[in-house]
């Protein structure tokens, strides 16, 4: 949430900063800004709206400096306008901040009483004002920064430049990621490793409490007490995943089409060819001592966890509780020490999920995380990490990360309580896994029928998504996708729950998407479908040819699915839900990759 990029270089850094911001835009895109130090002055250009607005502004007001900081914002305090955009500055210092200053109101009151004049409504401006306050008291730059950061409650990643120090860039973190990168001609600081250009060959991850002092030729790191804390550069390993849109119109479409590869990469990662068995990292609690599993996550990751609940209960016979992270962390639920806690996160930086993990750890639970970014805070803080291997996901609405989460959760389910250690079973599972990418690819090769269904929904204002059993979490994920990018108000319900209230919403203006794979619950879902049809709703049915034929008399539009082994239904049936949301959003002219009000990595509560 919010992206920071900073550079100190031999040449003008403006293009480096814009390049960095462009890669970080997924973290927030309601305003952006850049500040550089030039000839003893801090100069700044900011603009509300997406990055191109800042680029336009820079054409009229070009900046030129060898050292600069940049920020792309997702508003928390103060509306998304230019005044609230970062960097925030005084005549002596400029700050780009990611995080939340929880005590900003008391700090602001104190500084205003001392005569400091604020220009924005943000919590972040207290940092630039507080640093200035200490500079004005006569402390040096480093001391002023450390003193200010010590007073801040909450989280921060900051990049800071001083008017009187035109060759030095500072970066500090507590709770919000920041990475330092060394390139041929200078140093860079970024919220995300993927924002570094090709030029960057080695990196170091700043740790909580670090303050890095960086110039063109080198850097040093201290803690907030001013003591040296050496951080070593390590070679930057490129992950080999293709960047850019690769000819697709949007990252989201590209990421949907990558899913067969993501599925394959993920399951193969866990398959030990020598032993011909699935192999997971050792957990310090043996499976058979685990009484239950608690799954915690947010957003799409939560729905992956919900699918896993059905799998784990059915195949591994272990009771599973599942919780939204922001609820779990504050509920006073008694936690069983023999319960295994699972956290699922694409970014590994979601504030609520991280706090939930800290809560579980404090209660003595073993914490396993399923994480896509292996250098993330969550990966570092878990007892065991199970990678999800989706590669960088840029579209704000999560797609391939969901499929990789499902894949690794399925393997976890099969491995739990030794099931996959049975060679015969592992061989069978491997053989069925090998078939899936082809089926997914075939499905994705012709999306015309989904595009036709999407045309029926352009004018819809509300939708219902229904599913039973394992199709219910898919209904939730499908409804989330259509909300996120198509801005259609969509609600998901277990099909059997409809008659307990939501049926009152149904009339001929309400499209109802029913997910009904040919499982043992199909007949029950079919009767719910009839209940909805008899109230005039327009039904879109997602099922196999056989299922569609059985429901023919009630269905307004069909989405035909191939026959597939039962355990892979959640993976296969996710594709049409993603594509439908994509094509509806496209038809409505929305910015598919950067939907309004959202951000990809939510590092605030
Ligand atoms: C945000 C994103 C969602 C994501 C959720 C959880 O809301 O827009 O796509 O599912 O955060 O993120 P995580 O990184 O923890 O999976």
CATH of the domain at 94: 3.60.20.10
The domain boundary, picked from 185, 219, 235, lies at 235
Residue 605: inside a domain = no
Q: Are residues 507 and 365 in the same domain?
A: no
pTM over 0.75? The answer is yes
Query: Residue 369 corresponds to which tokens in the numbers above?
Result: 């995380």
> 């700044």: which residue's tokens?
44
Instruction: List pLDDT tens digits, range 55-77.
Output: 999 999 999 999 999 999 988 88
Phi-psi region at 469: left, alpha or beta (left = phi > 0; alpha = psi -120 to 50): left
- Collapse the DSSP code of 190 into the 3-class scheme (helix H, G, I; strand E, B; otherwise coil) and give the result: strand
CA–CA separation, 149 and 156 (whole Å): 9
Beta bridge partners of 515: 467, 542
Residue 604: inside a domain = no
Q: Are residues 526 and 408 in the same domain?
A: no
Q: Are residues 186 and 270 in the same domain?
A: no
Q: Which atom in ligand 1 lies closest to the alpha carbon of residue 484?
A: 8
Query: Residue 331 corresponds to which tokens in the numbers above?
Result: 């509920």
Residue owning the nearest CA to atom 1 of ligand 1:
600
Q: Are residues 187 and 319 in the same domain?
A: no
Q: For a pocket test of ligand 1, which of 252, 256, 344, 350 has the largest count of ligand atoms closer than 8 A to its C-beta?
A: 350
DSSP category for residue 396: S
Distance 362 CA to ligand 1 centre (A): 24
Q: Is the CB of 400 under 6 A from ligand 1?
A: no
Distance 129 CA to ligand 1 centre (A): 32
Q: Is the CB of 300 under 6 A from ligand 1?
A: yes
Q: Are residues 461 and 432 in the same domain?
A: no
Residue 274 confidence (pLDDT): 87
Which has the closest alpha carbon to 356: 24, 282, 365, 501? Answer: 365
C-alpha dihedral (315, 312, 574, 251), degrees to nearest 10: -130
The domain boundary, picked from 402, 418, 445, lies at 445
Residue 603 confidence (pLDDT): 75
Q: Are residues 225 and 280 in the same domain?
A: no
Distance 329 CA to ligand 1 centre (A): 17
Residue 603: inside a domain = no
Residue 375 confidence (pLDDT): 85
Q: Is the CB of 301 under 6 A from ligand 1?
A: yes
Please state the rounded mean pLDDT for residues 133-142: 98
pLDDT tops 90 at residue 115: yes
Domain count, the chain: 3
Residue 209: inside a domain = yes
Q: Are residues 203 and 336 in the same domain?
A: no
Q: For a pocket test of ligand 1, which of 28, 251, 296, 398 has the largest count of ligand atoms closer than 8 A to its C-beta?
A: 398
Q: Residue 418 — very low, low, confident or very high, per pLDDT cuts 50/70/90?
A: low
Q: Which atom in ligand 1 lies closest to the alpha carbon of residue 301?
A: 16
Q: Are residues 455 and 401 in the same domain?
A: no
Residue 13: inside a domain = yes
Residue 349: inside a domain = yes
Distance 396 CA to ligand 1 centre (A): 8
Residue 251: inside a domain = yes
CA–CA separation, 594 and 36 (whole Å): 27
Q: Which atom in ligand 1 lies closest to the alpha carbon of residue 300?
A: 10
pLDDT tops 80 at residue 140: yes
Q: Residue 27 — very low, low, confident or very high, per pLDDT cuts 50/70/90?
A: confident
- Collapse the DSSP code of 19 into the 3-class scheme (helix H, G, I; strand E, B; otherwise coil) and give the result: helix
Burial of 517 (0-12, 13-18, 19+ CB in 10 A): buried
Q: Which atom in ligand 1 lies closest to the alpha carbon of residue 353?
A: 15
Question: Could you give the count of Cα atoms lying within 13 Å of 491 in the half-sphere of its Cβ?
Answer: 12
Residue 541 confidence (pLDDT): 97
Which has the closest alpha carbon to 132: 121, 122, 147, 120? Answer: 147
Indicate which residues carry an active-site annotation.
Answer: 2, 600
Residue 213 to residues 159, 235, 307, 502, Cα–Cα distance (Å): 10, 20, 46, 58
Q: Is the CB of 598 under 6 A from ligand 1?
A: yes
Q: Is the CB of 602 under 6 A from ligand 1?
A: yes
> 């509560």: which residue's tokens?
605
Q: Are residues 407 and 341 in the same domain?
A: yes
Instruction: List pLDDT tens digits, range 33-54.
Output: 999 998 889 999 999 999 999 9
Residue 318: inside a domain = yes
Residue 503 confidence (pLDDT): 87
Q: Are residues 29 and 140 in the same domain?
A: yes
CA–CA separation, 224 and 202 (whole Å): 25
Average the pLDDT over each of 14-18, 273-277, 294-298 and give the range with the smallest value: 273-277
Q: For a pocket test of ligand 1, which of 176, 255, 325, 346 has the largest count of ligand atoms closer than 8 A to its C-beta?
A: 346
- Counting residues of the chain whose pLDDT is more than 90, the rounded percentage is 78
Distance 47 CA to ligand 1 centre (A): 26
Q: Is the CB of 345 under 6 A from ligand 1?
A: yes
Query: Residue 592 corresponds to which tokens in the numbers above?
Result: 């598919």
CA–CA separation, 170 and 93 (whole Å): 11
Q: Is the CB of 600 under 6 A from ligand 1?
A: yes
Q: Is the CB of 350 under 6 A from ligand 1?
A: yes
Q: Is the CB of 396 under 6 A from ligand 1?
A: yes
Residue 241 confidence (pLDDT): 62
Cβ neighbors of 107 (< 8 A, separation 6 or more) are: 101, 126, 129, 130, 151, 152
Q: Are residues 64 and 189 in the same domain?
A: yes
The distance of Cα 591 from the centroid of its chain, to the nearest Å, equals 18
Instruction: List pLDDT tens digits, range 523-547.
Output: 999 999 998 998 889 999 999 999 9
Phi-psi region at 526: left, alpha or beta (left = phi > 0; alpha = psi -120 to 50): alpha
CATH of the domain at 346: 3.40.50.10490
Q: Is the CB of 259 under 6 A from ligand 1?
A: no
Q: Residue 355 — very low, low, confident or very high, per pLDDT cuts 50/70/90?
A: very high
Q: Are residues 453 and 435 in the same domain?
A: no
pLDDT tops 80 at residue 605: no
Distance 75 CA to ligand 1 centre (A): 17
Q: Is the CB of 399 under 6 A from ligand 1?
A: no
DSSP category for residue 282: P
What is the chain's mean pLDDT, rounded? 93
Residue owning the nearest CA to atom 15 of ligand 1:
345
CA–CA separation, 180 and 195 (whole Å): 11
What angle is formed at CA 584 by the lines to CA 500 and CA 508, rounded to 5 degrees?
40
Please name the helix (run of DSSP H) or strand (run of DSSP E) that holds residue 471, with its range, or none: helix 471-486
Cβ neighbors of 422 (< 8 A, separation 6 or more) are: none
The domain boundary, picked from 445, 466, 493, lies at 445
Q: Residue 419 — very low, low, confident or very high, per pLDDT cuts 50/70/90?
A: low
Q: Which atom in ligand 1 lies closest to the alpha carbon of residue 598?
A: 8
Residue 239 confidence (pLDDT): 63
CA–CA separation, 315 and 550 (whole Å): 29
Which domain, by its residues, includes 85?
3-235
- Collapse the DSSP code of 296 into the 3-class scheme (helix H, G, I; strand E, B; otherwise coil) and give the result: strand
């Amino acid at each position: 949430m919010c992206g920071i990029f900073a550079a100190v270089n031999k040449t003008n850094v403006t293009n480096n900063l814009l390049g960095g911001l462009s890669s970080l835009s997924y973290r927030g895109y309601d305003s952006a800004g850049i500040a550089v130090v030039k000839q003893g002055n801090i100069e700044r250009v900011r603009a509300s709206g997406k990055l191109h607005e800042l680029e336009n502004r820079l054409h009229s007001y070009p900046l030129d400096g060898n050292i600069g900081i940049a920020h792309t914002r997702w508003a928390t305090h103060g509306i998304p306008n230019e005044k609230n955009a970062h960097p925030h500055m005084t005549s002596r210092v400029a700050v780009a901040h990611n995080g939340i200053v929880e005590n900003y109101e008391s700090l602001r009151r104190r500084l205003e009483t001392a005569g400091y004049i604020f220009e924005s409504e943000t919590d972040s401006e207290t940092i630039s004002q507080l640093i200035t306050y200490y500079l004005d008291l006569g402390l040096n730059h480093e001391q002023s920064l450390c003193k200010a950061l010590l007073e801040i409650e909450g989280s921060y990643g900051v990049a800071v430049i001083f008017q009187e120090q035109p060759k030095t860039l500072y970066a500090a973190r507590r709770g919000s990621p920041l990475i330092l990168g060394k390139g041929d001609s200078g140093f860079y600081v970024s919220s995300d490793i993927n924002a570094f250009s090709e030029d960057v060959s080695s990196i170091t991850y700043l740790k909580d409490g670090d303050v890095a002092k960086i110039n063109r030729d080198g850097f040093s790191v201290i803690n907030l007490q001013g003591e040296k804390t050496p951080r070593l550069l390590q070679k930057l390993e490129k992950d080999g995943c293709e960047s850019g849109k690769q000819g697709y119109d949007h990252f989201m479409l590209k990421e949907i089409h990558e899913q067969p590869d993501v599925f394959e990469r993920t399951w193969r990662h866990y398959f030990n060819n020598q032993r011909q068995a699935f192999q997971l990292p050792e957990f310090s609690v043996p499976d058979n001592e685990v009484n239950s599993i608690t799954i915690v996550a947010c957003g799409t990751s939560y729905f992956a966890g919900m699918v896993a609940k059905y799998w784990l209960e059915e195949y591994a016979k272990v009771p599973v509780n599942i919780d939204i992270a922001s609820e779990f962390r504050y509920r006073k639920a008694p936690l069983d020490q023999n319960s295994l806690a699972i956290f699922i996160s694409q970014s590994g930086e979601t504030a609520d999920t991280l706090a939930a993990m800290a809560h579980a750890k404090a209660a003595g639970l073993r914490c396993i995380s399923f994480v896509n970014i292996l250098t993330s805070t969550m990966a570092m803080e878990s007892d065991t990490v199970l990678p999800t291997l989706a590669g960088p996901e840029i579209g704000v609405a999560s797609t391939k990360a969901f499929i990789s989460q499902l894949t690794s959760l399925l393997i976890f389910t099969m491995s739990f309580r030794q099931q996959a250690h049975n060679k015969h079973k592992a061989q069978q599972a491997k053989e069925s896994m090998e078939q899936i990418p082809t089926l997914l690819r075939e499905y994705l090769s012709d999306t015309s029928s989904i595009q036709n269904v999407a045309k029926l929904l352009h004018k819809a204002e509300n939708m219902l998504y229904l599913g039973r059993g394992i199709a219910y979490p898919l209904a939730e994920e499908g409804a989330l996708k259509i909300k996120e990018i198509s801005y259609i108000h969509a609600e998901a319900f277990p099909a059997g729950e409809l008659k307990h209230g939501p049926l009152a919403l149904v009339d001929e203006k309400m499209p109802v998407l029913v997910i009904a794979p040919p499982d043992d619950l199909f007949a029950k879902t079919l009767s719910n479908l009839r209940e909805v049809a008899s109230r005039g709703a327009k039904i879109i049915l997602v099922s196999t040819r056989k299922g569609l034929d059985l429901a023919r008399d009630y269905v307004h539009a069909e989405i035909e699915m191939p026959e597939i082994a039962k355990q892979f239904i959640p993976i296969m049936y996710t594709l049409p839900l993603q594509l439908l949301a994509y094509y509806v959003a496209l038809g409505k002219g929305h910015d598919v990759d950067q939907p309004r009000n959202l951000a990809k990595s939510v590092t605030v509560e």
